[in-house]
């Protein structure tokens, strides 16, 4: 399935909130479960506070007009998705990614099956 960077970012942000890995109650925050999840995903450095960049912040995606995860954790998440080849750049669209079969299975815990697997043949949407 091909998806825009903005669409995927918004879906992942919603999934992180829905699964309780980040919270919006009282402001944006990383939960203990979220800290453990990001550590498992990117190692202990993933959740290390940085002076140069906030660990966690929202960023309004201009195409979707909704927030995605910004800050250091947003960068870690995108980097890991690419390194693990859960998403690959779409050859036909500069700002689009194709979710691989492995990625579809791995991201299933964050996204509803209808959002991840809307084309059972795996063809670009």
Q: How many CB atoms lie within 10 A of CB 23?
A: 15
At 24-49, the pLDDT tens digits run 998 999 999 899 989 988 899 989 88
Q: Residue 69 pLDDT > 80, yes or no?
A: yes
- The pLDDT, as a whole number, for residue 39 is 92
If you average pLDDT over residues 73-89, what whole number do you get? 91
**Buried b or exposed e, range 67-89, using 16+ CB within 10 angstroms:** bbbbbbbbebbbebbeeeebbee
At 104-125, the pLDDT tens digits run 888 886 654 333 443 433 333 3
Q: Residue 23 pLDDT > 90, yes or no?
A: yes
39-53, 67-81, 94-108: least confidently modelled range: 94-108
Cα 95 to Cα 3, 8, 88: the distances in Å are 9, 11, 11
d(CA 22, CA 32): 9
User: pTM higher than 0.75 for the full model?
Assistant: yes
Contacts (Cβ under 8 Å, ≥6 apart) of 113: none
120 backbone φψ class: left, alpha, beta (φ>0; ψ -120 to 50): alpha
Cα 89 to Cα 2, 3, 32, 85, 111: the distances in Å are 9, 10, 32, 10, 20
């Amino acid at each position: 399935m091909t998806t825009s960077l903005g669409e995927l970012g918004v879906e992942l942000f919603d999934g992180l909130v829905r699964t309780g890995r980040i919270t919006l109650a009282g402001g944006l925050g990383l939960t203990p479960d979220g800290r453990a999840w990001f550590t498992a995903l990117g190692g202990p450095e993933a959740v290390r506070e940085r002076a140069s960049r906030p660990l966690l912040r929202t960023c309004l995606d201009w195409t979707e007009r909704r927030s995605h995860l910004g800050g250091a954790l947003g960068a870690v998440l995108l980097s890991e998705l690419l390194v693990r080849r859960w998403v690959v750049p779409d050859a036909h669209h500069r700002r689009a990614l194709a979710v691989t079969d492995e990625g579809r299975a791995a991201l299933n815990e964050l996204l509803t099956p209808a959002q991840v697997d809307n084309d059972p043949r795996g063809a670009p949407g």
